[in-house]
Amino acid sequence: MKELLVEKNKIKHNLKIIKKIIEADGKNDSGEKVKIIAVVKGNGYGLGLIQYSKFLIDNGIKILAVATVEEALELRKSGIKEDILMMSSTAVKEDIQKMIDNNIILTIGSKEAGDAVNEASANKKARVHLKIDTGFGRYGFIYSDKEKMIEYLKSWNNIKIEGTFSHFSIAFFGKRESTQIQFDRFLDCVETLKLNNIETGMLHICNSSAFLRFKDMHLNAVRIGSALLGRISIPNTWGFKRVGILKSNVAEIKELPKGYNVGYSNSYKTKKETKVAIVPCGYADGFNVVVDKDMYRKIDKIRYIVRDLKNLFKKQEIFVKINDEKCKVLGRLGMYHVTVDISDKNVKINDEVFFEVSPMFVDSKITRTYI
């Protein structure tokens, strides 16, 4: 049976590193330590939304953040009482009402969303965070539209602002300049709101990469997602441990003759008599799945071409682990199966096979087992 194994000790290790960095910050201007908002979007980054969230709560996390209405409601339905921030602004009245009824903290990032929340919360003040778009181009009030923002906010009587936030577009890459511009825009908006007697609540702008790179930008809280899994987008100089490994088992063993085809497209033929293991796990399960070529500027296309040319001269090989030994995958990956070279190795039917994966891409139907 396939399982995604989630190593609890590694999550605790990563959380300890994060808390140590926060301890080094000391207390902010309000005399409080920086809070951790644990981002559990995308099925808990693939670790299982409910299991992962409850594990984090058991280890001291007080605020969770999600990206969809469904995730927010699922957390409440599971019995979680802690604060839940739905980070995506929405003007859909039915969704807003459900979240208000379940004490979810909403995000308001537009006049339409604010009007809808204010109308839905006539009998019960809605808890909200304001989202300011400082240069990401997605959710949020445009940072330069301060006068309009103030006008809207003063017209909404049925909301309680508990926080204000923004999101960096390039904190994981390059120099500080672009991120600093967004940060300054955010602080300027916050200051303008305060000067107009608008409560801004808890301020947060850093995701994992910004939290690790720009300690002076931590503000009142930081949103931590990928760092808890040890799968950060910047060089890991802190000692984070990667969480999550996919496990399957050897289903069949056979001997293939020399010159025998393996897999689709006849792309691989054995160079000698080869002993192989057939393992029921493939790309549909999340193995060797990556986000690739998702930027379209000319410079990005040039980078992709250069990378592909370099790869042309590299030996492209994929490995799995069986009995603590690296074993080469032969031929193209199948949707649900791979063929593995086990020549000269003591491998038996039902031996465990371990696949390096990103938990985000592992089929949600596969059991998450916490060990």
Bridge partners of residue 35, in order along the sequence: 221
Clarify whether residues 75 and 212 are in a common domain.
Answer: yes
Per-residue pLDDT of the chain (371 residues; tens, 9 = 90+): 899 999 999 999 999 999 999 998 877 666 789 999 999 999 999 999 999 999 999 999 999 999 999 999 999 999 999 999 999 999 999 999 999 999 999 999 999 999 999 999 988 899 999 999 999 999 999 999 999 999 999 999 999 999 999 999 999 887 899 999 999 999 999 999 999 999 999 999 999 999 999 999 999 999 999 999 999 999 999 999 999 999 999 999 999 999 999 999 998 999 999 999 999 999 999 999 876 666 556 665 566 565 555 655 666 789 999 999 999 999 999 999 999 999 999 999 999 999 999 999 999 999 999 99
CATH of the domain at 84: 3.20.20.10
Tell the residue number behind the tokens 């060089």, with chain if given: 235
Clarify whether residues 209 and 350 are in a common domain.
Answer: no
Helical packing angle, 111-120 and 146-155, nearest 10°:
10
Bridge partners of residue 83, in order along the sequence: 63
Query: Three-state SS string across 296-334, please?
Result: CCHHHHHHHHHHHHHHHCCCCCCEEEECCEEEEEECCCC
Clarify whether residues 40 and 160 are in a common domain.
Answer: yes
Nearest to 338 by CA among 330, 349, 346: 330
How many domains would you assign to the chain? 2
Clarify whether residues 88 and 127 are in a common domain.
Answer: yes
Phi and psi at 94, nearest 5°, equal -60, -40
Q: Which domain holds residue 289?
A: 245-370
Clarify whether residues 213 and 328 are in a common domain.
Answer: no
281 within domain boundaries: yes
Clarify whether residues 204 and 281 are in a common domain.
Answer: no
**Does the global pTM surpass 0.95?**
no
Clarify whether residues 285 and 360 are in a common domain.
Answer: yes
Clarify whether residues 84 and 210 are in a common domain.
Answer: yes
237 within domain boundaries: no
Clarify whether residues 200 and 60 are in a common domain.
Answer: yes
Domain final residue, candidates 229, 254, 269 = 229
Domain final residue, candidates 181, 204, 229 = 229
Clarify whether residues 265 and 310 are in a common domain.
Answer: yes
Clarify whether residues 119 and 213 are in a common domain.
Answer: yes
Clarify whether residues 214 and 256 are in a common domain.
Answer: no
Domain final residue, candidates 179, 200, 229 = 229
